[in-house]
Chains A and B, each alone.
Chain A
């Protein structure tokens, strides 16, 4: 008798677990859909023909499939130029930032380094106290960096947060490796180049992703410091496009409908400036999870 009761209760228990599992799977699918929905809608719009867009019939699948909007974008030198410039900018910034971060993180792991705690304080203070927008602007003016393409590269070339991630990773590399190299008479440059950097490839990949995403997505520095439209990064160009089209839309909202092509064109431009990052990040997932976790480990 007792055994029988036990079995039924176990069955009920496992049934409850199973239902629970399915409920959780359902919620997760729902969450994934919420994340993807706006992108799907965007893709559908960018590929739809204007007659369906004007009639408000495009939901998640393109209707009247065509690539006109994309060919318009790709034919427009304005977009191609901004795209190329932003790619170039992102590549330069990423390499420069990685180099500066490494230079900053590596010496700080040596406990014997005199003044190490002073350097750490100097670095940490900048994380919490910022001079502010206007003092920064006046500095750029003083350095003749306003309207200079370098202003999009140099001021952002070290993120202390990212540097700390790298430093945490360096701490995790066994001291014995370094010490044996020191005994062999290797210089610190060699130790960094031959031992630390090769071992840090995963975390360097993470930082590269963080820096690249930051530069690709950033627009406020260009908005504040850059008047020359030739050097606008893609995101700022996109911001201006979205707002111009939007203001036209507001003024014509009553009466006649918005022109369909500009609608799909707008979707295509947004898509065009998103795709590079969406293609890269899934492959680096393993690494950036580690990076975020390292960032949480502060000294």
Chain B
């Protein structure tokens, strides 16, 4: 009864709240009074907006050179349009064997990343959730988060130490056990495995944070009910934990799939070398080498634009799909 009364009281109080600010704060919509009150907020927003316009929006103008014949001496508006209604460089890009390889590798490496790397943080979070010793759990977490804080250059340095055929730790162990040294870093096919493996090593701990947070939000009553029904550890994982974190999993998976043509620069560039370019060149490194180094500005701008547009389309499809499946959208 007392609870009900309290609830009733709260319900009564609630509608009162919004009234107050209305009377006090929203002036009778005269622009002058409005600005007098809120100009400070616009002043605060000024710097971030100027930043965004200069560094995020104004380069979009230069996207035009994808459709033009680039020349150093002319401004963008003066440059002549490219042939084939401006699409000359897009056609050239797709005729370029290196670009086709880069495109293939980008998609392939991203797919492998999802296939091999996506489930691991979930499994790790499930394992951590079973640990009862607080101190031990925290230690394991701290250690697992460590690789996320290393730069890809450092990880490349570590990989050299571990995988060099002559004196890398792993190859020394393989040789001790009587095996042949494996060329992890300079054989194109092995390189793919190394790239994926290092990616998992770097990110699985960090990516588990979000699942752990989702798991900690599950009501303990569900587990108690499952225990009463005689569910064991794995049954609880399968029938309680996983269904409860399903929305998180779906959203993250869709986000990852939407980013299938996205390419980070730091990771492939730090890890690749000339011996493995066949499998290691991705769009971002292709653009850097042919554009900034090779000065083929129109071609690489076209490539970058193609990548951005496809990426946006994929993200929109992924978002639409996510909502269709009854999950929260990402945008």
A139–B56 alpha-carbon span in the complex (Å): 10
From known contacts A56-B167, A133-B287, infer whether A239 and B153 are also in contact, taking CB-CB under 8 Å. Answer: yes
Are A35 and B63 interface neighbours, CB within 8 A?
A: no
Can you name the residue of chain B whose Cβ is closest to the Cβ of A57? B172
Interface size on A, residues (CB 8 A): 101
Interface: A51 (CB within 8 A): no
Chain B residues with Cβ under 8 A from A110's Cβ? 38, 41
B86 smallest CB distance to A (angstroms): 16
From known contacts A31-B124, A112-B25, A128-B312, infer whether A59 and B292 are also in contact, taking CB-CB under 8 Å. Answer: no
Interface: B301 (CB within 8 A): yes
Q: Which of A28, A119, A132: most chain B CB closer than 10 A?
A: A132
Within 129-143 of B, Cβ neighbours of A (below 8 Å) are at: 130-132, 136, 138-143
Chain B residues with Cβ under 8 A from A59's Cβ? 169, 172
From known contacts A28-B140, A112-B38, A134-B287, infer whether A296 and B213 are also in contact, taking CB-CB under 8 Å. Answer: yes
Are A131 and B157 interface neighbours, CB within 8 A?
A: no
* Cβ contacts A22-59/B at 8 Å (1 or 0 each): 00110111011011111101100100000001001001
From known contacts A133-B291, A135-B60, A253-B166, infer whether A238 and B153 are also in contact, taking CB-CB under 8 Å. Answer: yes
Interface size on B, residues (CB 8 A): 97
Chain A residues with Cβ under 8 A from B232's Cβ? 13, 16
Are A39 and B158 interface neighbours, CB within 8 A?
A: yes
* Cβ contacts A237-248/B at 8 Å (1 or 0 each): 011001100100
Are A134 and B127 interface neighbours, CB within 8 A?
A: no
Interface: B105 (CB within 8 A): no
Are A138 and B62 interface neighbours, CB within 8 A?
A: yes
From known contacts A106-B44, A258-B167, A267-B161, infer whether A35 and B151 are also in contact, taking CB-CB under 8 Å. Answer: no
Can you name the residue of chain A whose Cβ is closest to the Cβ of B72? A141
Are A135 and B62 interface neighbours, CB within 8 A?
A: yes
A136–B136 alpha-carbon span in the complex (Å): 46
A254 smallest CB distance to B (angstroms): 10
* Cβ contacts B108-140/A at 8 Å (1 or 0 each): 000000000000000010011011100010111
Can you name the residue of chain B whose Cβ is closest to the Cβ of A281? B149
Can you name the residue of chain B whose Cβ is closest to the Cβ of A182? B25
Q: Measuring CB to CB, which residues of chain A are less than 8 angstroms from any residue of chain B?
A: 13, 16-17, 20-21, 24-25, 27-29, 31-32, 34-39, 41-42, 45, 53, 56, 59, 100-101, 103-104, 106-108, 110, 112-114, 119, 122-124, 126, 128-139, 143, 154-155, 157-158, 163, 179, 182-183, 187-189, 192, 213, 216-220, 223-224, 235-236, 238-239, 242-243, 246, 249-250, 253, 257-258, 263, 266-267, 270, 273-274, 277-278, 281-282, 285, 289, 292-293, 296, 298
